[in-house]
Amino acid sequence: MGIVSLPSSEMEPEKPTRSQVLTLEEVRKELGDCKRCKLHQTRRTIVFGEGNEKATLMFIGEGPGYDEDVQGRPFVGRAGQLLTKIIQSINLQREEVYIANIIKCRPPQNRNPEPDEIQSCNPFLRKQIQVIQPKIICALGTFSAQTLLKTETKITTLRGKFYDLEGIKVIPTYHPAFLLRNPDKKREVWEDMKKIAEWINNA
């Protein structure tokens, strides 16, 4: 599988020195009761992310939905249950990976995040990536893939290929919520997950 290089972008995690790397707890503390963008006005809870601080594999979705906003945890609704099954399909448990989103507060009516919201939230996602130092990131859905890879290429073209993000491999696949509406696409996600499992097993 070839690695596709994309131009460097502001979305890429900076390479910090050891002394600059915080813990996830410190990143969460720094985020505080965040009001850095307008989404704070309508959210119930900040959905920071959860999982293994030393995860090899990180999943990054788009943003919290209704259930996530209520519970303060990522991917806990129907799409989240499907993500849990997808993770288990490669013999991993949710607790072994790390799950986060491009933005940490639910947009009203689940609309797409706006550029200023992403810009405000992105430094914290970058810090999470710096702390965790995953070997591989699975970008879930169009929005996550296009934002992380700074591209407008469609998910149908992006998915199933490895990209390089400052030494971290990124592989986009379909979002579980899309799979709920299009179950015929599960096969392709399964193929992508097999590539992830193969890569992890050979790393």
Q: Which residues bind ligand SF4 (CB under 6 A)?
A: 31, 34-37, 39-40, 46, 103-105, 117, 120-121
Residue 108: phi and psi, rounded to 5, are -55, 135
- Farthest CA pair distance, the chain: 47
Q: Which is nearer to ligand SF4, 105 or 148 (CB)?
A: 105
Amino acid at 128: Q
CB of 123 to ligand SF4, least distance (A): 9
CB of 65 to ligand SF4, least distance (A): 14
Evaluate whether 140 touches 62 at the Cβ level (below 8 Å): yes
CB of 101 to ligand SF4, least distance (A): 9
CB of 157 to ligand SF4, least distance (A): 28
Q: Which is nearer to ligand SF4, 30 or 198 (CB)?
A: 30
- Bridge partners of residue 4, in order along the sequence: 163
- Class of residue 68 by CB neighbours under 10 A (exposed 0-12, middle 13-18, buried 19+): buried
CB of 156 to ligand SF4, least distance (A): 28
CB of 57 to ligand SF4, least distance (A): 23
Alpha-carbon Rg for the chain, nearest whole angstrom, is 16
CA 105 centroid distance within chain: 14
Evaluate whether 62 touches 80 at the Cβ level (below 8 Å): no
Buried/exposed code over 119-147 (b: 16+ C-beta within 10 A; e: otherwise):
ebbbebbbbbbbbbebebbbbbbbbbbbb
Distance CA 33, CA 165 (A): 29
Q: Which is nearer to ligand SF4, 73 or 104 (CB)?
A: 104
Q: Which is nearer to ligand SF4, 46 or 86 (CB)?
A: 46
Q: Which is nearer to ligand SF4, 105 or 193 (CB)?
A: 105
Q: Which is nearer to ligand SF4, 39 or 136 (CB)?
A: 39
